[in-house]
Structure 1
């Protein structure tokens, strides 16, 4: 009887979802097309509401998702914690033992690497495919901010995380790439990705993956089924709109919410960035989370509406607030 009631509750909840108005979907599609859009996919409760490809692009064409890559690697941290490899609040120096003698580095936690509050210089040069040794450079990255109090977006912290995971997996005769494929990509029915290894074989964690709209949407659909993971994307204390490679719209429910152009803000030096009360769009649901990649690559997920939206593009000036307002204005 309990199982029957639970099933009926789920069915009722699914039927209660308000579908997005077709005219709003068409407005977003038109906007996307006019601003360099290549693909737009909208799925709600597992059903495709809209799928279109424009400006000469097709369904089966993979696109660079740039920083959308980060979330996949960050998911390995939750798998590793579940497997008992570490806890997110462990100190990095417990594994990266060469940091133990450094008074400041020894205080950095794994969580701070993944919410970008470690204080490490970003080292954007690590993005280069011919960088000789990403791990060595990241481990020696200068501490330019205050650990736990400075949000510094960039590849260095993620490359330190890769080295930590590599050392944790060594005794199990596994590699971080293989672990990613088994624990994250496999459950999403995704195969090996574009890892952009350096000459030492170390992949780039900050970018590199190429996926179709349908492939990237699988991450959104998977997260909708795993609320415990979504709730674990706890943002850092400095930038409450970001954590573990995922941006969020939580501040939208506050009267003091401030729409922020993420890419414009990230173009500034880290110490000149302002993230107080930041949200993506005041009109969009506060539970919206997103993966944001350069040039308008977007994966939006709205758990309360069982909604997944993927946009692939070559957009020199993506505007999250405007795009989301086209869908959600006056619907909250």
Structure 2
């Protein structure tokens, strides 16, 4: 087959991406607005198919995305690993030598820091804007579980990762500058709200403020980088989370069951259950999501070439309900 014909055959033979129904979009938008929604942006095949703002929020107004911030640092980790600064399976204590004498902490890998199977206490106090020295505190975090055995969601591990990256960069540039150059600039984003402590260490677990259109650019980038999507596998402690992203993979299995992520995270780490967890059984199994407090959501669905951004002040966000409405095929 000649090159031009082969090129045309690729596109003509590719299966059509199933569009969302108008009824599904309208139902999801109404649900979002009724539950404290501030913005709903839906892009499919690179085009905006829905954009609405409600409850006093404006299109160009930056909005807190809370834990949606974590994914940007996850992508920073992928960039650093690709450049050979570290491997995900190397031990953190090879660089953070202070940990070498600790029976548990000495065994934690870089991957375990980023999929939250590290075993460190969460240390939610690190979220405080006035916290004086996040790095020193995080490095002293207690090891409350065997590495790889439990899912512990919290800021401590990410602050350790920041120090690990800083040492790997050997003062040639700061982790913030590395983030800006390797992640934010390719997304067309500038400097963000870092909430630094007294020593300049940013809060990696939260802090960024973006408009719906700005946050959607992360989704656009992810759709173009299948090699990154394939690495978001999660751990045996929680297969539904890795590198700041949640996945819906278990929705494609008979044993998959819906979990309200924010409600589950409100429990103590040892009371949480993530076995066969998914966000919504009615949504495609390849959906991945960034989840921030009070209903901040970025959903990415590669099989549908789809990006959904929701900004909100929702006291009880329900991923399963809104996604069920959105992916409804109508009457």
The bucket for the TM-score relative to the shorter chain is: over 0.9
Q: Does 1:237 align with 2:236?
A: yes
Q: Does 1:154 align with 2:154?
A: yes
Structure 2 distance, partners of 1:229, 1:4, is 30
Alpha carbons 2:21, 2:329 under 8 Å: kept: no
1:13-24 matches, cutoff 5 A: 13=14, 16-24=16-24
Structure 1 position 7, deviation (Å): 4.9
Q: Does 1:226 align with 2:225?
A: yes
Q: Secondary structure at the match of 1:290?
A: strand
Structure 2 distance, partners of 1:213, 1:127, is 23
The match for 2:196 is 197
The match for 2:92 is 92
Structure 1 distance, partners of 2:216, 2:43, is 8
Structure 1 position 3, deviation (Å): 5.7
- RMSD of aligned C-alpha atoms? 1.3
The match for 2:169 is 169
Deviating 4+ runs (over 6 angstroms):
none
Alpha carbons 2:114, 2:242 under 8 Å: kept: yes
> Which deviations, in whole Å up to 9, do the C-alpha atoms of 1:31-59 show, x marking residues without a partner?
11111111000000101110111111111
Structure 1 distance, partners of 2:106, 2:264, is 30
Shift in CA distance, 50/8, structure 1 to aligned 2, threshold 3 Å: farther
> Which deviations, in whole Å up to 9, do the C-alpha atoms of 1:264-300 show, x marking residues without a partner?
1000000000001100001100000000000000000
Alpha carbons 2:152, 2:269 under 8 Å: kept: yes
The match for 1:134 is 134
Relative CO higher for 1 or 2, CA cutoff 8 Å, sep ≥ 6?
A: 2
Structure 1 position 323, deviation (Å): 0.3
The match for 1:214 is 213
The match for 1:145 is 145
Structure 1 unaligned residues grouped into runs of 5+: none
Structure 1 distance, partners of 2:53, 2:99, is 49
The match for 1:59 is 59
Alpha carbons 1:283, 1:330 under 8 Å: kept: no
Shift in CA distance, 193/11, structure 1 to aligned 2, threshold 3 Å: farther
Q: How many residues align?
A: 329
Shift in CA distance, 126/22, structure 1 to aligned 2, threshold 3 Å: same
Alpha carbons 2:299, 2:309 under 8 Å: kept: yes
The match for 1:76 is 76
TM-score, normalised on structure 1? 0.97
TM-score, normalised on structure 2? 0.97
Q: Secondary structure at the match of 2:307?
A: strand
Q: Does 1:283 align with 2:320?
A: no
The match for 1:308 is 307
Alpha carbons 1:138, 1:159 under 8 Å: kept: yes
The match for 2:10 is 9
Q: Secondary structure at the match of 1:232?
A: coil
Structure 2 distance, partners of 1:11, 1:197, is 51
